[in-house]
Amino acid sequence: MTITAEVTEQGVLRVKSPTLKPGDEVILETRESGVRNADKGRWSEIEKVLAKADALDFPRRTYEEIIRDLHELRG
């Protein structure tokens, strides 16, 4: 089960889950690199991934080629 939680300014972990009931125990495990903040992202890591994607040599197609292939797939 994946649990999404919010950490308040006071360091309180807030979890909303319909499957958890009062008194349930949950084991939390953090990654060695620390807690990831999904809202802010890590731009330097994103830029590295995009740079690697740009370095790949995929055959490029024009808009017209893509539309033609879609029409052929539909029949």
3-state secondary structure of 5: strand
Whether the model clears a pTM of 0.85, i.e. scores above it, the answer is: no
**Residue pLDDT, tens place only, 32-58:** 555 555 556 678 888 888 888 888 887
Instruction: Count the domains in the chain.
Output: 1
Query: Would residue 20 count as lying in a domain?
Result: yes
Residue 51 lies in a domain: yes
CA 70 – CA 75 distance, rounded (Å): 9
Residue 36 resides in a domain: no
Query: How many whole angstroms from its chain centre is CA 34?
Result: 16
Quote the domain boundaries for residue 47: 5-31+41-74
Structural domain contains residue 62: yes
pLDDT tens digit string along 4-20?
788 888 888 888 887 88
